[in-house]
Each structure stands twice: as structure tokens, then as C-alpha cells.
Amino acid sequence: MPLTPEKRQQRTKRFAPNVFEFCDELPSKPSCWVVRKQLLRSASSVAANYRAACRAVSKKAFVAKLAIVEEEADESPFWLEMLEEMDVGHPSKGHSRAKPTNS
């Protein structure tokens, strides 16, 4: 069953604070700084831009905002993968809250 716009908005909004919490737990070392900043930005952008898309005044504006949402939603897992490759912040270390879910 497809997600309703309301469910999508709840899901994207829930993802951002989970990522914030996750990033607070990351080590404070220089190699994590850039990744942390990019992950925080992309995760919060997903929620903010989906909300803006839902309030769009035209179909063109809606589609444009959704394109940004899609791009940022694709970027967040990239930064999570980078942390995994750096051997920090992966689910086996108890950081599964930042992973997007299908519910």
C-alpha cells in the first residue's frame, strides 16, 4: 500500500531527529566533521523540502521540491555508508536509528 502524503511527511520528519541523535553519538574527530555536517544537512533538508512540497502553490513548484527531496534522500544513505567505511556509526555498533525505514 502506497504511503499517503501525511504518512510521508511524518516519516521524513521522524528521520531528521533520528539522524541528529545519531550524529551526536559520533566521535569528535576531524575525519567525522565533514561527514557529520553533510549528513545533518541532507537529513534535515529531506523533511523541510517535503513539507514545502506539500504546501506548493503549483504543480511545477511541487515537482521541483520533490526533486530536491529525492536528491537529498539519496544523499543521506551515501553519508551513512561513508561512516560505515570509516568504521564508525554503523548498525553493528548500535547506530541503527539513523537508517531510513520502509514503514
Name the grid cell of 100. 531510513
Name the grid cell of 75. 544523499
List, for residues 26-83, the tens digit of each pLDDT value.
999 898 999 999 999 999 999 999 999 999 999 999 999 999 999 999 999 999 999 9
In angstroms, the CA 22 to CA 38 distance is 13
Residues 44-73: b if buried by 16+ CB within 10 A, e if exposed: bbbbbbbebbeeeeeeeeeeebbebbeebb
Residues 6+ apart with CB under 8 A from 71: none
Which domains are assigned to the chain? Answer: 5-89 (1.20.1440.60)
List, for residues 74-103, the tens digit of each pLDDT value.
999 999 999 999 988 755 444 455 555 554
In angstroms, the CA 62 to CA 52 distance is 8
What single string gives the DSSP state of each residue in 86-103? TTSS-GGGT-GGGS----
What is the model's pTM? 0.76
